[in-house]
Structure 1
Amino acid sequence: MQVGERIADRVFDIARTFPFALDLGSGRGYISQHLTKDIVERFVHTDLSEKALRNLAVSEIPSVRVVVDEEFIPFKDNTFDLVVSSLSLHWVNDLPRAFQEIHRILKPDGVFIGAMYGGETLYELRCSLQLAEIEREGGFSPHVSPLTAVTDLGNLMGRAGFNMLTVDAEEIQIHYPGMFEVMKDLQGMGESNCAWNRRSLLHRDSMIAAAAIYQDMYGEEDGTVPATFQVYYMIGWKPHESQAKPAKRGSANVSFGDLQKVKETVSETRTEEK
């Protein structure tokens, strides 16, 4: 819900009204409940889970609900003025295709605002499990879903056709009594490992060893352990002729080498004014 609110803040930062918007992987509507109908006039909520859509949070914005796979979005080209997505795209098998689909359904000068987990998410849990498995079993396998690096995210959006890209990251840290509480919470969130070649069994000895490693390496003075969630926020626009364009290469009339001279001139001017 915290991430959905921060996405909504980014929508409010854009000084315009969006007549038709899409929430991709909306879950229970974590974004729309923080928006108003004077900013977004109509919403389409989509998710793979019909149950989540049935439990959609109350919002003043008129909306419809559609069960949709993010990789095969069943809407026509140039349909939406705004597409938002909160922490669902890390489940997509083909992320480049998903970005292409989002770009396709946006109107020219439409904007995509989304958030997804970054590559440093749950590094404490991953490191503890890997060290425990190496010690007890002589090797390890991934137990957390693969996640995207921030550099890859910008490249993928650029390749999909978005311009005026903005990608920033933040870390949200939550404290738990121990590793087993972290894993129970992840299970309740539906954030278990989605890798196709994952191991179906994690031995009890390895789990106990991982919990001890987690506590020893990352434990706080009060006995709790942190779980870090890295979140990438991204904004990309579909090109339109009305958008500002960068100056042509070689058109600059000031060199970076002259910046020091500008600084010295400003300093001298201030001295004279005093």
Structure 2
Amino acid sequence: MAGQTPQIFDRTLRRRRLVRAARQRGEPPFLAAEVADRLADRLSEVTRDFARTVEISAVPGVLPAGPERIVLSPVPASAASGAVTDAEVLPLAEGSVDLIVSVLDLHAVNDLPGALVQMRRALRPDGLLLAAMFGGETLTELRQSLMQAEAEVLGGVSPRVFPFVDVRDAGALLQRAGFALPVADSERVTVRYANPLRLFADLRDMGETNILHDRLRRPIPRRMLARALDIYAERFEGDDGRVPATFDIVTLTGWAPHENQPKPLRPGSATHRLADVLGTVERPLKSGG
């Protein structure tokens, strides 16, 4: 149907796996806790208070509680103010909140531009969005190992690891959604495992297993899995006998426009020459090669 959002992810399956993972584990996954700590550090550097905040998280409750905090998650939250919802359809009125923090959920939405637009509309003027999601080269070692093993064993390749957004594209999406002062940056976290099976266990613990809409419905054949484990070790094992797993954490920061925010100068409106500021002599470029 024309205009319909492509279904990259099976969001119903994602909810089921997130709920199952939350029920089976005692504490939040270490990586979600690490990302939440980093977001909290960034918030501590913002010299203003946010009266009404919303946490949109695949792992609810990993951020410190506030006086007016609403938790929205595919997973039932323990907080009294929590609500089960989907980041693709937010139950937030326009201009109703001052701060939105998203923890490891936006990388698995089918309509990321639409989700960002909804968040922008929900913010009051000068409200802040701070979101962290997996992006870039996340799980590149696993992706390469599975692709090579499947090609060797089954003679073809099927989608098994998420397509992750690039940090430059993420910044452009913030601008497109109407955020002021948009910033997108990426931090790399490399986790080292005794073997790839420990990585698989952590991904299940986070509820971050394959939910691609076009995935194969049958389990991975044992001989393909065995070959993938061998390839992972052969290509990536370090001198210490452990294997790395790359996680690129893309963080998005954007503000709802407000008249008091800094604005870029018009082209040609500068009152000082750059050469004078730097204390150098300006020299014309030579023509020709």
Range into which the TM-score falls when normalised by the shorter chain: 0.7 to 0.9
Within the alignment, does 1:217 sit opposite 2:235 as a pair?
Answer: yes
Structure 1 equivalent of residue 63 of structure 2: 31
DSSP 3-state at the match of 1:180: helix
Per the TM alignment, residue 27 of structure 1 is displaced from its structure 2 partner at its CA by: 2.3
DSSP 3-state at the match of 1:117: strand
Amino acid at match of 1:207: L
Out of 254, 263, 266, the position equivalent to 1:245 is 263
- Does 1 or 2 have the higher relative contact order (CA < 8 Å, sep 6+)? 2
Within the alignment, does 1:47 sit opposite 2:73 as a pair?
Answer: yes
Gaps of at least 5 residues in structure 1 are 34-39, 57-62, 266-274
Per the TM alignment, residue 259 of structure 1 is displaced from its structure 2 partner at its CA by: 6.4
Amino acid at match of 1:242: N
Out of 39, 42, 60, the position equivalent to 1:7 is 39
Aligned length: 249
User: Percent same amino acid at aligned positions?
Assistant: 37
Measured at CA, do residues 260 and 102 of structure 1 come closer, stay the same or move farther in structure 2, by a change above 3 Å?
Answer: closer
Within the alignment, does 1:188 sit opposite 2:205 as a pair?
Answer: yes
In the aligned structure 1, how far is the partner of 2:209 from the partner of 2:189?
19
* Partners of 1:22 and 1:44 within 8 A in 2: yes
Within the alignment, does 1:169 sit opposite 2:173 as a pair?
Answer: no
Per the TM alignment, residue 92 of structure 1 is displaced from its structure 2 partner at its CA by: 1.2
Amino acid at match of 1:11: L
Moved over 4 A (4+): none
Q: TM-score by structure 1 length?
A: 0.86
Within the alignment, does 1:125 sit opposite 2:142 as a pair?
Answer: yes
Structure 1 equivalent of residue 215 of structure 2: 198
In the aligned structure 2, how far is the partner of 1:167 from the partner of 1:87?
15
Amino acid at match of 1:214: Y
In the aligned structure 2, how far is the partner of 1:259 from the partner of 1:172?
42
In the aligned structure 1, how far is the partner of 2:281 from the partner of 2:108?
53
1:188-219 per-residue CA deviation (whole Å, 9 max, x = no partner) reads 21001111111123221111111111101100
Measured at CA, do residues 222 and 156 of structure 1 come closer, stay the same or move farther in structure 2, by a change above 3 Å?
Answer: same
1:192-250 per-residue CA deviation (whole Å, 9 max, x = no partner) reads 11111111232211111111111011001221111111101111001010111111121
Moved more, 137-146 or 105-114: 137-146
* Partners of 1:18 and 1:41 within 8 A in 2: no
Per the TM alignment, residue 253 of structure 1 is displaced from its structure 2 partner at its CA by: 3.5
Gaps of at least 5 residues in structure 2 are 1-32, 283-289
Q: TM-score by structure 2 length?
A: 0.81
Measured at CA, do residues 261 and 44 of structure 1 come closer, stay the same or move farther in structure 2, by a change above 3 Å?
Answer: closer
